[in-house]
Amino acid sequence: MKETPIIFNADMVRAILDGKKTQTRRIFKQAVGSSLSVDYEYPWATLSWLYGDGPGHEVYERTLKMQCPYGKIGDQLWVREAFSDLARMRERFASAIGRSVETITTSFEGDIAYRASLGSRADYLKWTPSIHMPRWASRITLEIIDIRVERLQDISEEDAIAEGVSANEFSPACYAFGSLWQFIYGVDNPQSWQANPWVWVIEFRRV
């Protein structure tokens, strides 16, 4: 069984903890040619390019198989999120003032604090970015139960809800998911949603 780290922002961490998020979509980073199919027996995406004209106007095809970088069904993902190492913070503070760490108390319980769980109190701590979270600090492990590849905008209303967003009386969940996607990926690519890229669709359950 393979374990792979995966980053989620605070809102999505809360959605996972609340049982509202059971899917994630990640951009398929390989350039896609004229067609793409998926072997559902094993999570490979088969990319096909049609290119060139030979002397008899033949069309040549090149294929490439790619395995999902996040693993296969049955593998696990451990979640990276913003955190604070309280134990280390107490040790540094005790050393700075010349006291034993046992005499240092704070209003925060435990040895690790997670930004997603602190609400307004999060402003009182210095946070380590999620990308730097080590395995031992992770509190959430997910098991992959399905993998497929599809166009981003092909998401269904049901799947948008499984992404951890909600519909309201003014707009469906698909609209909310589009806004979430732009919030996450729009900084680097303002046209990310409009580009309608191929994405890995990973379904999971918490273990």
Can you give the pLDDT at residue 86? 80
Q: What is the pTM of this model?
A: 0.77
| Dihedral sign from CA coordinates of 83, 88, 93, 94 | positive
Same domain, 11 and 74: yes
Same domain, 18 and 47: yes
Can you give the pLDDT at residue 99? 63
Total domains in the chain come to: 2
Give the domain extent around 60.
3-80+138-206
Task: Return the CATH number at 168.
Answer: 2.30.130.30
Same domain, 10 and 70: yes
Ranges in the chain, pLDDT < 70: 30-66, 89-110
Q: Closest Cα to residue 197, out of 158, 169, 157, 155?
A: 155
For β-strands 44-53 and 35-39, DSSP reports them as antiparallel
Same domain, 155 and 108: no
Same domain, 122 and 145: no
Can you give the pLDDT at residue 61? 47
Can you give the pLDDT at residue 41? 47
Same domain, 162 and 61: yes
CA distance 143 to 77: 6
CA distance 165 to 12: 9
- Domain closes at, from 100, 128, 156: 128
